[in-house]
Chain A
Amino acid sequence: MNIIDTFEKSQMKKPSYRFTIGDQVDVSVKIVEGDKERIQIFTGVVIAKNGGGFKETFTVRRIVQGEGVERVFPIHSPKIADIKVIKSGRVRRAKLYYMRDRTGKGTRLQEKFVKEKESPKTVDAATTQTGEKTTT
């Protein structure tokens, strides 16, 4: 592995957060005011993920007082304390830029319900598969 990869890996958060496009998320952002540090929560829909590995970012969109607000967060930023998925939307593409043209009721996404018992199993299978790949 080259030096840049190892350096980037050393800065990466472990484990990474699990969320996808169309999820409604609570992003806890650390904010420093003077000497005090507090946590602010930015709630919205994940409309895009960009980049990969250490440089990966995601875009969260929400409507504030009728005005669309988007924030781009680097996933491995130390300012992000936590990312919580509230609900998952059923979406058919990787970039939801069409949400920018929508207002009012159109901004809602159809909710995707994941069976609680099944989801961890699939996750385990995915991780073991990748594990095998790296060893061979």
Chain B
Amino acid sequence: MVTGILGKKIGMTQFYTEDGKLLPVTMIQAGPCNVMQVKTVENDGYYAVQLAFDGKKKKRANKPEIGHAAKASTEPKRFIREVAVVAGAEVKLGQTITLDVLKDVKWIDAIGLTKGKGYAGVMKRWNFKGGAASHGSTRHRPPGSISSNTDPGRVIRGKKMAGRLGGEQVTIRNLSVVKIDEGNNLLFVKGAIPGHKGSYLILNKSR
């Protein structure tokens, strides 16, 4: 059995549980994926499956991509990632993996790319407090002192400063699965998920 699937964030909405509770949920289109490559202990030193999700026009794919897909007798795809597999499980090249992989799963981990925030100041990036907004203050958002004087005579490595924020890979663990709609390949998960609408996700069973 494959222990995960690839997907795409659709957006957030609300969902009523059976006992009438209103939950914030994220709608994810999960699968169908194709198996592009099967990795085994004999060949690669570990068991895994390379999944491919979301079709790509052939004219947009390069020759190595087309060739790699042709080995699994599928079309080139946009999002290709590796997912763990239970040792000894039979997975064939080109096999279609659907949401029933996560059928009886209660909790999943989602891996995705967060929204890029660009060059962000210290208040947004590290939650510094900044200065007073009023009372004659002109020191609104700067970080303040970054170190001492002659001793140590340098800035400590790893000092929190302004810089690029977001656009990094993040794993959100233990998201509860609220609902699965296998017919439409839809997965509903409680709470938010990294990334913009349409961003790709790796969805694994939680350990």
Q: Give A contacts to B, CB under 8 Å.
A: 3-4, 7-8, 11, 30, 32, 54-55, 74, 76-79
Residue B143 interfacial (CB < 8 Å): no
| Residues of B close to A78: CB separation below 8 A | 16, 20
Dominant secondary structure of chain B at its interface with chain A: strand
Residue B184 interfacial (CB < 8 Å): yes
* Given A3-B184, A3-B186: A8 touches B22 (CB 8 Å cut-off): no
Which residue of the partner chain, among A3, A30, A74, A77, contacts B10 with CB atoms under 8 Å? Answer: A3
- CB distance B10 to A4 under 8 Å? yes
- CB distance B14 to A77 under 8 Å? no
* Given A3-B184, A4-B11: A77 touches B27 (CB 8 Å cut-off): no
Q: Give B contacts to A, CB under 8 Å.
A: 10-11, 13-16, 19-20, 22, 27, 29, 184, 186
- CB distance B20 to A79 under 8 Å? yes
Min CB–CB distance A51 → chain B (angstroms): 10
Min CB–CB distance B74 → chain A (angstroms): 24
* Given A3-B184, A4-B27, A7-B27: A54 touches B14 (CB 8 Å cut-off): yes
- CB distance A77 to B15 under 8 Å? no
Which residue of the partner chain, among B13, B16, B19, contacts A4 with CB atoms under 8 Å? Answer: B13
Which residue of the partner chain, among B14, B15, B19, contacts A32 with CB atoms under 8 Å? Answer: B19
7 contacts between A and B (CB under 8 A): A3-B27, A4-B10, A4-B11, A4-B27, A8-B14, A11-B15, A54-B14
Q: How far is the CA of A4 from the CA of B14 in the complex (A)?
A: 10
Give the interface centre of B15, B19, B22, B27 by most chain A CB atoms within 10 Å: B22
| Residues of B close to A77: CB separation below 8 A | 16, 20, 22
